[in-house]
Amino acid sequence: MARPPQHWDDNRLEQIIGNLLRGGVLTAALVVLLGGILYLVRHGATVPDYHMFRGEPADLRGVAGIVTDALSLTSRGVIQLGLLLLIATPVARVVFSLIAFALEHDRIYVIVTLIVLSVLLYSLTGAGS
């Protein structure tokens, strides 16, 4: 197709968003699977207890702590990193839509998308902690 590279339309936007979502989910699932195997190998023989609610330790509650734990290959840290990637996938989709609406010069939807994005970032960066 002889289309200038700067040209954006909704159809092309839809194709790229589709690929982004699929890639994000698959990557996240793979990381979780890896962490899960590590976890079962190391802790498979312990007895699980989810009846009492204790809450997760502080390092598994925020982005920085999760990345540190995952880098030192603790199994729960690796799984939590995969879950974080999964949560980030729809956020990445919103960021991408923002860029696309800006390239389309669609001012109303740039504002709409910015509102959604700020709610997401507010929630991810420590709301409720």
Partner 1 sequence: MNTIVFTLLVWSGSFLAGLLGALTGLGGGVVIVPLLTLLFGVDIRYAIGASLISVIATSSGAAAAYVKEGYSNIRIGMFLEIATTLGAVLGAFLAGWLSTEVIAVIFGIVLLYSAYSSSRHKPHDIEDDRPDRLASLLRMNGSYPTPQGSRSYHVHSVPAGFGLMSVAGALSGLLGIGSGAVKVLAMDQMMRIPFKVSTTTSNFMIGVTAAASAGVYLNRGYIDPALSMPVLLGVLAGSLLGARVLVRAQTRILRIVFSLVILALGIEMIFNGLTGRL
**Chain residues that interact with partner 1, rule: CB under 8 A:** 10-11, 13-15, 17-19, 21-22, 24-25, 28-29, 32-33, 35-36, 39-40, 43-48, 50-53, 55-58, 60-62, 75-77, 79-80, 83-84, 86-91, 93-94, 97, 106, 108-109, 112-113, 115-116, 119-120, 122-129
Query: CA quadruple 29, 59, 57, 89: dihedral positive or negative?
Result: negative
Rounded to the nearest whole angstrom, what is the least distance from the CB of residue 72 to partner 1 in the complex?
Answer: 15
For the chain, helix (H) and strand (E) counts, in that order, are 4, 0
Smallest distance from the beta carbon of 32 to partner 1, in angstroms?
6
Task: Identify which of residues 4 and 9 has a Cβ nearer to partner 1 in the complex.
Answer: 9
Which CB, 2 or 34, lies closer to partner 1?
34
- The Cα–Cα gap between 125 and 63 comes to 8
Q: Which residues contact 99 (CB under 8 A, 6 or more apart)?
A: none
Q: How far is the CB of 21 from partner 1 (least distance, A)?
A: 4
Q: CA 62 to CA 101: how far, in whole Å?
A: 30
Query: From CA 41, how far away is CA 35, in angstroms rounded?
Result: 10
